[in-house]
Structures are given as structure tokens and as C-alpha cells.
């Protein structure tokens, strides 16, 4: 008795193509969210000299991205100090972009 599976190579190739298409679609949504987060963080940054705004950057990757602010005092602006109330701009931008990403993935 023997069992022969016909068409397994074609089936596996089709599954592979679907996975690649899915990953590309998800990566596009992730990158859109990263760029949105950057835009929102820049728009929400406290502006005195423009340093906080100009230090915000979107860094793409595959199925990931980062939005960073490399100003030395951005953490003090974001979370405040004992002498200054917080003026968050990174976390609110992240939360909004995350919600839009989740809506895009779910719908």
C-alpha cells in the first residue's frame, strides 16, 4: 500500500506566495503607522527653538519601525520634572498611530 500526494509543490508555493503578500501588506501598515507617529510627534512637540521637532525621526525596518527623538532633553519634556509639568508628544503620537494600525490590521 502506498499513498501519493499530488500537487503538494504547487500548494506549498501558493501558500508561500500568500504569506509573502500578507507580510508585505502588514509591513505597509506598520510603515504607515510609523510615518503617522512621526508626523503627530512633530506636530505635538513643544517648539521654542525647533530642536524638539527637528530631533524627531522615523526609522523604517521590515515588519518594524521606530520613531525616535534624540534630543538630550526630550525625556524631560515628555515626562516633566519637579519644576516643569510634562508636555507629552511622543506617547500620544504612538497611541494614535497604534490605534490606526490595529484598525488597519483588523479591518
7: Cβ contacts below 8 Å, ≥ 6 apart: none
How does pLDDT run across 22-35, given as a tens digit for each residue? 999 999 999 999 99
pTM for the model stands at: 0.83
Q: In whole angstroms, give the CA distance from residue 19 to residue 23.
A: 6
Spatial separation of the C-alpha atoms in residues 79 and 64, rounded to whole Å: 25
DSSP character string of 5-56? --SHHHHHHHHHHHHHHHHHHHHHHHHHHHHHHHHHHHHHS--SSSHHHHTE
- pLDDT of 107 > 80? The answer is no
Q: Convert the pLDDT of each residue in 56-106 to its tens digit.
A: 999 999 999 999 999 999 999 999 999 999 999 999 999 999 999 999 998
> What is residue 17's predicted lDDT score, i.e. its pLDDT?
79
The reported pLDDT for the residue numbered 65 is: 97
Amino acid at each position: 500500500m502506498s499513498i501519493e500526494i499530488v500537487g503538494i509543490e504547487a500548494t506549498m508555493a501558493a501558500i508561500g506566495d500568500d504569506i509573502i503578500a500578507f507580510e508585505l501588506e502588514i509591513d505597509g501598515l506598520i510603515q504607515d503607522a510609523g510615518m503617522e507617529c512621526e508626523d503627530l510627534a512633530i506636530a505635538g512637540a513643544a517648539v521654542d527653538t525647533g530642536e524638539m521637532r527637528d530631533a524627531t525621526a522615523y526609522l523604517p525596518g521590515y515588519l518594524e519601525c521606530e520613531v525616535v527623538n534624540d534630543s538630550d532633553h526630550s525625556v524631560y519634556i515628555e515626562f516633566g520634572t519637579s519644576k516643569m509639568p510634562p508636555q507629552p508628544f511622543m506617547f500620544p503620537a504612538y497611541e494614535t498611530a497604534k490605534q490606526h494600525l490595529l484598525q488597519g490590521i483588523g479591518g
